[in-house]
Structures are given as C-alpha cells and as structure tokens.
Amino acid sequence: MNILQTYQTFYFVGIGGIGMSALARYFNASGKNVLGYDKTNTKLTQNLMNEGIDIVFEDLIDERITSLQKEDTLVIYTPAIKTLGILDFFNQNQFEVLKRAKVLGLITENTDCIAIAGTHGKTTTSTLVAHLCKEADLPFSCFLGGISENFKSNFLYNGSTYSVVEADEYDRSFLNLSPDWAVVTSTDADHLDIYGDINHIEEGFRQFAALVPQDKQLFVRKGLEIGRGHQTYAVNEPADYYSDNLRMDHDKIYFDFHTPTETVKDFVWEIPGIHNVENATVALAILHNLGADFDTLKKAIANFKGIKRRYTKHIYQNGKIYIDDYAHHPTEINAVMSSIRTFYPDKKLLVAFQPHLFSRTRDFADGFAESLSKADELILLDIYPARELQENFEGVTSSWLLDKVILDKKEVSTLSDTFEKIKEKEFDILLTVGAGNIDTLYDPICEWIQKI
C-alpha cells in the first residue's frame, strides 16, 4: 500500500510555495485534513485558506501542532526552508517528515505520469499539457509550477489515470518521480549551487530520462544529448514531431504541425515567442500519442490563455502596454525581450528586473547584463535572497551587476521605491520581470496605468 494512504492529516511546512500549494490542494481535494505554515501571507495562501486549509504565519508551537498525532500525520516540507522551530518539533517527536519531491513521487507511482523537465519551458509545457488533457476530457490530475490562466490554479483534479507534473531539477527533485511519459525541453546551466557545473546538470537530466521505461515515450528537444532512445521535437527543422510555416497576424501565431505520418495545418496560438511554439509542439505530440483528435487539439490550442506571470500582457486604451513575467535566467529574459521586440519593434521599453538569488546573479552576471542591455531604460531591484544569505556572497550586489549593463538610462532601486520610480518614467511598454516578490507591484501598476 502507498504510504500516503495511511495518513488522514497532512502538515505543509512552507505551504505557500507553488509546488507545495499544488500538493496541499491535492490532499484537500481528496478529503484529507490539510494545514500548514508559511512565513508570508500572499494571494496564494489566502486562496488556500479560502479553500478550507488552515495556515499560520508565525513559527510557534501551539495547540494546533501539539494536538497532532504522529501515527495519523505526514509532514511535508520544502528544501527552501533550512531551519524552523515547527520543523524541529516534528523531527524531534518522530513524525514522518518527507520532502515535497518525495511525496509527489509517491503520487506518480500510482498513475500514468506525464513529467515535463527542463531548465526553461517546463511550466508552460506542463500547463499546456494539462489544459489539452482537460479539453480532451482525459482522466488526469495536474501539479503545476505556475497558475494556469484557464484553471486559475496550479492544481486540477479530473480523474486519477494520468498525472501531469512539472519535473523540477532543483535539488535533483525530479529523480523522485516515476514518469511513464516525459519531456526534456532544455538542459542549460542553472542551479549551479546544487550541480556545480553544466556537466553535472546534463547528467542529472540523463538520470531523469533513464527513469522512463523503454516501452514508454520520451520526447526531447532536437539537438539535446540525452543518452537513450527518444522522440525528437523542433520548430522550423525536421524532427519526429515539428512545427513550421509560422506566420504572425497581429498578436496571433499560425503554424503547421507534423507527426511522423501526417501534417495538420493552421494551428492558432496566442502565446508569443518561437520557444513557446516549441512547447506547444511537444504538448501536441504527447496528446496525439494519448489518442486525442486534432479537431479537439486545435480548439484547445486556440483557447489556451497561458500562465500567470508568464508574459502576462495588458494593453490599455491610453496606448500603454504592461507585461509581467517570471523570467529569472538570461535565456528566459532574452526570450521575453525577443518577443517584445518582434511584436513592438519601435516602442520604448522600460524594464524593472529583480534578480533572484545571489548565486544565480554571480554565476550568470554577464548573461544578465547582455539581456538587460536590450531595454531602453532599466530599473534594477535589489537581489531577492530567497534561501541564501548575502554575507556568503561578498561583492555580489545589484550595483555590481548594473555596472555591467550597457545602457545610458539605468538605476538601482529597492522594491519599496520601484513603483514611484516607474510612475516618473516615460515608456510605451513596461516589463516587470523576476521570480522574487516583484509580483507585489503587479496590482498597483495595473490600477495606475488604467488611470493615466
């Protein structure tokens, strides 16, 4: 019997994380007693509480914790939390304590798991696969790393035959999964604090790919060396599955999709960027192999609304355009910048970027500087530390990074000052970008641009 079935209560330490909250929603939807802790009250934790989940925001051992029985309670934690009194209490009192990735892996053991991995593209691809599964009415549950604009959630239950999961390479979490179908979108350098160098990252993805049984399907972006048999996918070049004949009409992209045996013309897609057509290509390949018909898939591709904070775009009557994006790696920022410059080549672009992690800023400083130099004006926020301590990264600051950016108009700002600085600028397009708490500016900016 799966260990998860022996517990009625699930306590989440760090419940407000995007991956943790999806698991919390899964157990809550399964009729379990779900509660947890997070250090910050956010829109996401508010939504969880509205769904009936009890959450505290102070590291206190109160009756809600001391009344829990270890025989009936599974404690789930995120590796982003290093030290916490609540977590110490559970460990000292011999509760079963598991990492988030281990629990997600246990869930996938009892399903046909569709796992989407890659340093870039996995959130969009996994969310699109889930959307296509829903439109095709397949019996599935999904655990996503972003908030689907179609579902308004990072979790959806539509049955339990299939599970659609975002396979996270951080902390080698994806090696806990039991994938039956899998995708590798990219193996670029990232999380060097965990892997050390690109060779170990690539080896991690090869280990993940090896988890897929030989009689199941593995899809890999053409050109990646993954070390075992697989199906390839690509855009504008032949592969086992590929898309070509891309045309833009206003904000829509049209493309043709090729399987090994047929061509389906004129898919309509509203998510900008060739990299996102790649994501759509492999999602279509998976659903085609699951038996979905192309009429259904065409309609589903056309009505996919994307993911919150993945190129979330607003066009206002006053002519201003506001785009918000989660990009936190130079490759991702380049993709966003390229999309903006393709659609709006002559508009003045103001970028507000919040670097995420001192280690990532240090490791990719030149790449960040190159990508940010494509703006017309830059506001560079202080580095968001997440799990890191600044004293361990002497000299790694936003001012240090700003010196590398080749722009006439550039400055450093705290998060609290950024909104006022934005209001003083002249721009046609505003891009806020980063994976920290820069998202707290989203609502104030939307309200302000609407009024000007």
Task: Report which of 342, 204, 345 is spatially closest to residue 273, judged by C-alpha positions.
Answer: 342
Q: How far apart are CA 105 and CA 325, in angstroms?
A: 29
**Do 277 and 217 belong together in one domain?**
yes
Domain boundary among 260, 283, 303: 303
**Do 145 and 288 belong together in one domain?**
yes
Give one word for 134, left, alpha or beta, with left for phi > 0 and alpha for psi -120 to 50: alpha
Domain boundary among 98, 124, 142: 98
pLDDT digits (tens, 9 = 90+) for 114-136: 999 998 889 999 999 999 999 99
Rounded-to-10 torsion of CA 351, 352, 358, 362: 20
Banded model confidence at residue 196, pLDDT cuts 50, 70, 90: low
- Binding annotation for ATP: 118-124
**Do 122 and 236 belong together in one domain?**
yes
Using a pLDDT cut of 70, give the percent of the chain over it: 98
The yes-or-no verdict on residue 3 having pLDDT over 80 is no
**204 inside domain:** yes
Query: Mean pLDDT throughout 273-296?
Result: 95
Banded model confidence at residue 79, pLDDT cuts 50, 70, 90: confident
Query: Mean pLDDT throughout 171-176?
Result: 87
**Do 134 and 283 belong together in one domain?**
yes
Q: Which residue has the tokens 């919150």?
A: 308
The yes-or-no verdict on residue 273 having pLDDT over 90 is no
Residues 165, 174 contacting (CB under 8 angstroms): no
**7 inside domain:** yes
**Do 129 and 93 belong together in one domain?**
no
Residues 414, 440 contacting (CB under 8 angstroms): no
Question: What is the pTM assigned to this prediction?
Answer: 0.81
Q: What is each CA distance from 178 to 16, 53, 92, 183, 209, in whole angstroms? A: 25, 28, 31, 13, 11
pLDDT at 149: 92
**Do 154 and 296 belong together in one domain?**
yes
**104 inside domain:** no
pLDDT at 134: 97
Q: Cα–chain-centroid distance for residue 196? A: 22
**Do 248 and 179 belong together in one domain?**
yes
Q: Among the ranges 2-6, 75-79, 133-137, which has the highest mean pLDDT value?
A: 133-137
Split into its structural domains, the chain has a count of: 3
**105 inside domain:** no
**103 inside domain:** no
pLDDT digits (tens, 9 = 90+) for 334-373: 989 988 998 888 999 999 999 999 999 999 999 999 999 9
Calculate the average pLDDT of the chain.
92
**168 inside domain:** yes
Burial class of 237 by CB neighbour count within 10 A (0 to 12, 13 to 18, 19+): exposed
CATH number where 400 lies: 3.90.190.20
**Do 330 and 401 belong together in one domain?**
yes
Banded model confidence at residue 51, pLDDT cuts 50, 70, 90: very high
CATH number where 141 lies: 3.40.1190.10
Task: Report which of 302, 317, 236, 237 is spatially closest to residue 271, judged by C-alpha positions.
Answer: 302
Q: How far apart are CA 263 and CA 254, in angstroms?
A: 14
Q: How far apart are CA 164 and CA 78, in angstroms?
A: 20
**Do 227 and 337 belong together in one domain?**
no
Domain boundary among 98, 122, 150: 98
What residue numbers bound the domain in which 21 lies?
3-98
- Binding annotation: 118-124
pLDDT at 171: 75
Burial class of 147 by CB neighbour count within 10 A (0 to 12, 13 to 18, 19+): buried
Banded model confidence at residue 189, pLDDT cuts 50, 70, 90: low
Query: Mean pLDDT throughout 7-27?
Result: 95
What is the token pair recorded at 111?
Answer: 């399903």
